[in-house]
Amino acid sequence: MLIKLLRAHLGPYKKPIVLLVLLQLLQTCATLYLPSLNADIIDNGVVKGDAGYILEFGGLMIAVSVLQVLCNVGAVFYGARTASALGRDVRAAVFDRVQSFSARELGRFGAPSLITRTTNDVQQVQMLVLMSFTLMVSAPIMCIGGIIMALGQDVPLSAVLLAVVPVLGISVSLIVKRMRPLFRTMQERLDTVNRVLREQITGNRVIRAFVRDGYEEERFRGANTELTDVSVATGRLMALMFPTVMTVVNLSSVAVVWFGAHRIDSGGMQIGALTAFLAYLMQIVMAVMMATFMFMMVPRAEVCAERIEEVLGTDSSVVPPVSPVTELRRHGQLEVRGAEFRYPGAEEPVLRAVDLVARPGETTAIIGSTGSGKSTLLGLVPRLFDVTDGEVLVDGEDVRTLDPVLLAKTVSLVPQKPYLFSGTVATNLRYGNPDATDEELWHALEVAQAKEFVAGLEHGLEAPIAQGGTNVSGGQRQRLAIARTLVQRPEIYLFDDSFSALDYATDAALRAALARETAAATVVIVAQRVSTIRDADRILVLDEGRVVGSGTHHELMGGNETYREIVLSQLTEAEAA
């Protein structure tokens, strides 16, 4: 998965990658060359007292060091730039995919997990790539080159390396193997902490109202402790790595000095060669350590890459049309034919054989007990999800064949729980129509009965709105959401219980203004309140996902038992007449 992800996203950066590999190659060669030069200076300059030799080779050492530093800076620069670009691209790819998801896929992953995947998971992959750019080239060359150079200094002493390298390799891989499952658990527990935290922040008022602070604290502490436990377990393994490596290093250094001293004593080796040998031993061990460090990151990045690929590999169940219809002939006729909808995994459909025709210039209302499928039915029109059977037509065209931009322009839904974005009143109102003038915004606010309240705000249209619209009341939020839809001027308006938070007087005033404003449009209103819909041209009665009645208020009062029951639960017989 990691390789697949990297192959897919590193493609555009071939040039900087080749450049940084070359720079790494050069700087590693320079690093390997320095101990040999040092040995030469000791054996041929210092021991023989040749100042000219020392100066000449000392100068060369400085030149090689400068080259090494420059190459290193260049490699790190290109490495960091490419890794950051990769992170940006993967984040953008995940974001694009998530944007295409329908409510079904969003529900499957959950918002907290999608956020962790887009941020933390991508960051883990990005960090591994940065480390790899720095170490992938230099570590193996340094290790193999170090062995060759050490052999060049003294062959018998190199036997020490035969023991050191495998011992180091095996002990490190044993530790890394145990880390892998822990990393997966760590990412999952991070998801859980995010989920609990998000729920507690969004449900803060309910928690306070029910005085469940203690319970919620305990729940967070549980999730937090679980994350800490797994982090500590991986931390322990990581901590074990360095003492293990250092023990091997120190023991091998002692062995090299011990055997090297004997070789010098017997005249088989020069003192400069022993210094160089020790330096190469350090370089080899450093290379193994660096590789280890990288391998430590690989399992976590692999787990993260799998989680990212899972998102990228998930297709939206609301598929955009291959050859979309980009123009509609008539203006805003909505028709639902034999619609069935079943939520994923649900045994029973929540809508069955639903038929509905809503024409321009008419108001169609949908009423029914809670859970009867009203919101689901409205959601089928802007394709929040697609019918599992039957069809939804706008101006005679199946919504599944319509260009998504055209569909969004034609149909606008005011959801049951409207959402406002952080920004100002104006930025929210212009969400569906960025070119709307201030006059248009004020007009929409007037129709939505929100003009007075916005005019009363200190900055009027420029008054700040918090994320989710939490700094305005529920009723104000509903009215701003209605105004936002009015600014967009669609041909089909869908109001999902959008007047529920308004008092009766405001509800009536709003509907009267709305009727004038949307006189030529198709309006579908879902409501629980009979007074909101009794004047509608047609009322559809839903019961357990089926249409059990259709007609005007008077027609339904005459012959539809379900409708009569709903009406008489809210009004007296005289009021309902």
Ligand X SMILES: Nc1ncnc2c1ncn2[C@@H]1O[C@H](COP(=O)(O)OP(=O)(O)OP(=O)(O)O)[C@@H](O)[C@H]1O
Place of tokens 């509907």: 511
Of 374, 301, 267, 239, nearest to 90 (Cα)?
301
CB-wise, 264 or 353, nearer to ligand X?
A: 353
Q: Dump strand ranges (E) for 264-388.
A: 334-341, 351-358, 363-368
Query: Residues touching ligand X: how many (CB under 6 A)?
Result: 13
Q: Is residue 524 within the footprint of ligand X (CB under 6 A)?
A: no
CA 202 to CA 222: how far, in whole Å?
A: 19
Judged by CB, which is closer to ligand X: 389, or 573?
389
**The tokens of 520 are what?**
């030529």
Q: Out of 138, 372, 433, 532, name the contact with ligand X by CB under 6 A.
A: 372
CA dihedral defined by 433, 374, 448, 566, rounded to 10 degrees? 170
Instruction: Decide: is 348 part of the binding site for ligand X (CB under 6 A).
Output: no
Choices 274-282, 368-376, 511-519, 550-558 (CB under 6 A): range interacting with ligand X: 368-376
The distance of closest approach from Cβ of residue 368 to ligand X in the complex, given in angstroms and rounded to an integer, is 6
Q: Who contacts 209 (Cβ-Cβ below 8 Å, separation ≥6)? A: none
Return the range that interacts with ligand X (CB under 6 A); candidates 20-28, 169-177, 208-216, 366-374: 366-374
Q: Residue 376 or residue 433: which is nearer to ligand X going by CB?
A: 376
- ∠ CA 80-81-83, nearest 5°, is 65
Contact 118, 92 (CB under 8 A): no
Stretch that binds ligand X, among 131-139, 370-378, 447-455, 473-481 (CB under 6 A): 370-378
**What residues from 410 to 449 belong to the interface with ligand X (CB under 6 A)?**
416
- What's the closest the beta carbon of residue 529 comes to ligand X, in angstroms? 11
> Where do we find the tokens 């729940």?
219
Which of the stretches 24-32, 141-149, 305-313, 374-382 binds ligand X when contact is defined by CB under 6 A?
374-382
Q: Is 374 in the site for ligand X (CB under 6 A)?
A: yes
Instruction: Using the minimum distance from each CB to ligand X, give the nearer residue, 112 or 373.
Output: 373
- Residue 376 in contact with ligand X, rule: CB under 6 A: yes
Contact with ligand X (CB under 6 A): which of 326, 370, 569, 572?
A: 370
Dihedral, CA atoms, 180, 185, 188, 193, nearest 10 degrees?
-130
- According to the binding rule CB under 6 A, does residue 478 interact with ligand X? no
Nearer to ligand X, 368 or 382 (CB): 368
Least CB distance from residue 107 to ligand X, whole Å? Answer: 6
The binder of ligand X chosen from 24, 153, 333, 375 (CB under 6 A) = 375
Q: What gap in Å lies between CA 551 and CA 434, rounded to an integer?
A: 39
Which of 124, 119, 123 is closest to 191 using CA atoms?
119
| By the rule CB under 6 A, 373 interacts with ligand X | yes
Stretch that binds ligand X, among 116-124, 307-315, 372-380, 455-463 (CB under 6 A): 372-380
Separation of alpha carbons 252 and 230, rounded Å: 34
In Å, how far are 40, 48, 273 from 51, measured between CA atoms?
13, 9, 19
Whole-number Å distance between alpha carbons of 498 and 505? 15
- In the range 85-124, which residues lie near ligand X by CB under 6 A? 107
**By CB under 6 A, is residue 494 in contact with ligand X?**
no
350 scored as a contact of ligand X (CB under 6 A):
yes
Site for ligand X in 156-195 (CB under 6 A): none
User: What is the smallest separation between the CB atom of 186 and ligand X, expressed in angstroms?
Assistant: 29
Shortest CA distance to 226 belongs to which of 183, 188, 189, 180? 189
Nearest CA to 133 out of 85, 166, 170 is that of 85
Q: Using the rule CB under 6 A, is 352 a contact of ligand X?
A: no
Footprint on this chain of ligand X (rule: CB under 6 A): 107, 343, 346, 350, 368, 370-376, 416
